[in-house]
Structure 1
Amino acid sequence: MYQVMMIEDDDHAADDLTALIKRYGAERKIEFSVTRHATAIPLIKSHRSYDLVFMDIDLPGINGMEAAELLRTYDPTVPLIFVTNLAQYAVHGYQVDALDFIVKPVSYYHFSMRMDKAMRAIARNRREHVTVTTRGGVRVVPCAEIVYVETQAHDLIYRLVGDKGDEPLRVRGSLSALEEELGGAFLRISSGCIVNMDHIRAMQSGTLLMDNGDTLYASRAKKKAALETFADYLGGSI
């Protein structure tokens, strides 16, 4: 469950943005909890942490840019997306380290691209490591060292950088739960395998060559989406 804060004083715009978030979540099988306020005061006063913030610029009282400056005093990393009809001010968003901006009216195409980018940022903020419990105890695994994870029976098999020829890391677990935890650069290519896109050397017609030398295959059901997602990832829009 991802916590989203929306600062938007226009009810219709807030409803439209909420619908876009729900559509994106339904398509990606991601759960979002959206908290909406018409002014920035609750965000500033609460100092509560969120996974993602959508901010209008033209707000009553404290405007979105001023609110973003205050937000950054206690949360320097939360992805911030400005949603505004004041396009001429959007460039100033980079002064408060805004992730991106969307100009109203918002189309789903442009929204989904920004959300893909936001989800990568959220993944980086949430976790750079995963903790797995093995028979020998707890092990911390850097996400960057995971090449791919596959299922065998009820076990998760971690294929890690540099473990060629070694016994792979094997733990009990749910691949779906791990996929949600990892997010970001990780891609589901079949019901039994997720891969780290940073370790894909080549991908063609659903055949993946990983940089550890392994060859993987996307299932027929996942192939089209996997190809599109990887192409977007290479383009920096996911």
Structure 2
Amino acid sequence: MYRILMVEDDEAEADSLRHSLERYARENKLEFQITWTRTALDISTDSTKYDLIFMDIGLPGINGMEAATLIRTYDPETPIIFVTNLAQYAVRGYEVDALDFVLKPVSYYNFKMRMDKAMRVIKRSAGKSIVVSAHDGLRVILTSELVAVEISNHSLVYHLAGDEDPIVVRGSLSKVEDELVDAPFVRISNSCLLNMAYVRTVKGSEVHTTTGDVYYFSRSKRHAAIDKIAKYLGGSI
């Protein structure tokens, strides 16, 4: 499932965009979870990690360009597509590394081309992987499926979403941290790297994940790790 956020103050325009998204999902056998908000102010209180954001530029209060600039302070990766009446404003989108822009009124042909591009970017990002040498041979691990990496008695333990048995190999956690530098991982202790995309809640020294597991902050890493997780999720913890 792909999570998509629409930031659009006009209900008719939002309905048009939603119908285009639903049609695209049907045609491409995809599943979209679509969230609509009328103002950019709502983004600051939304802790959801979205796969794609459609941003109207002419929003009341904080406009779309200002909102995108704010988003980029804590999220440099999520693709943003601007939706606007005036093409000249969309050109400024490259200042915030916007993926593309769609002109209103949104035509499905124009929309489909932008979505094809967006889905290529999303899937390429989700397809990043690392290779580990396990006892039964080389294993390719998608970083999007890797929940955490722990070290115990000089062995690395890779915890994967949906797998009961972790992968255990010899290695260095610092080396793995270097390999995962472009993925959303945070060091929560000297012995654990955690994928922030799987964080559900933080309670004291505990981090509860969407997989039902619990990991623990060390006292020295907790403050910096919580700050990084909060910025990644776009809210407060």
TM-score by length of 2: 0.56
Q: Which residue in the other structure is 1:12 paired with?
A: 12
1:97 corresponds to: 97
Cα deviation, 1:97-136, whole Å, max 9, x if unaligned, reads 000001101111110110000001111222312889x992
Equivalent-residue separation in structure 2 for 1:66 and 1:117 (angstroms): 24
CA–CA distance in 1 between the matches of 2:10 and 2:106?
A: 14
Aligned counterpart, 1:22: 22
For 2:52 and 2:102, locate their aligned partners in 1 and report how far apart those are by CA, in whole Å: 14
Bigger relative CO (Cα 8 Å, ≥ 6 apart) = 2
Letter in 2 for 1:76: P
Structure 1 pair 130/24, CA: closer, same or farther in 2 (3 Å)? farther
The answer to whether the 8 A contact 1:49-1:75 is kept is no
Aligned length: 142
Amino acid at match of 1:108: Y
Shift of 1:74: 1.0
Native 8 Å contact 2:127 2:142 kept in 1: no
Report the Cα distance in structure 2 between the residues aligned to 1:40 and 1:128, rounded to whole angstroms: 30
Alpha-carbon offset, residue 94 of structure 1 = 0.2
CA distance, structure 2, for counterparts of residue 138 and residue 2 of structure 1: 30
Residues 57 and 128 (structure 1 numbering): CA distance in 2 closer, same or farther, change over 3 Å?
Answer: same
C-alpha distance in 1 between matches for 2:65 and 2:73 = 13
Deviations 1:12-45 (A, max 9, x none): 0000000000000000000000000000112123
Q: Which residue of 2 aligns with 1:80?
A: 80
Matched ranges for 1:1-238 at <5 A: 1-129=1-129, 136=136, 139-140=139-140
Give me the CA root mean square deviation: 2.3
Check whether the contact 1:47–1:74 (CA below 8 A) recurs between aligned residues. Answer: no
User: Compared with structure 1, are the counterparts of its residues 75 and 97 closer, same or farther at alpha carbon in structure 2 (3 Å cutoff)?
Assistant: same
The runs of at least 4 consecutive aligned structure 1 residues that moved more than 4 Å come to none
Amino acid of the structure 2 residue aligned with 1:85? N
Unaligned runs of 5+ in 1: 144-238
Q: 1:131 to 1:104 in 2, by over 3 A?
A: farther
Under a length normalisation based on structure 1, what TM-score does the superposition of the two structures give? 0.55
Q: Return 5+ residue gaps in structure 2 as ranges.
A: 144-237
1:66-103 deviation per Cα after TM superposition (whole angstroms, max 9, x unaligned): 00000001110101000111322110000000000011
Contact kept in structure 2, 1:44 and 1:67, CA below 8 Å: no
CA distance in 2, matches of 1:9, 1:129: 38
Percent of aligned pairs with the same residue?
58
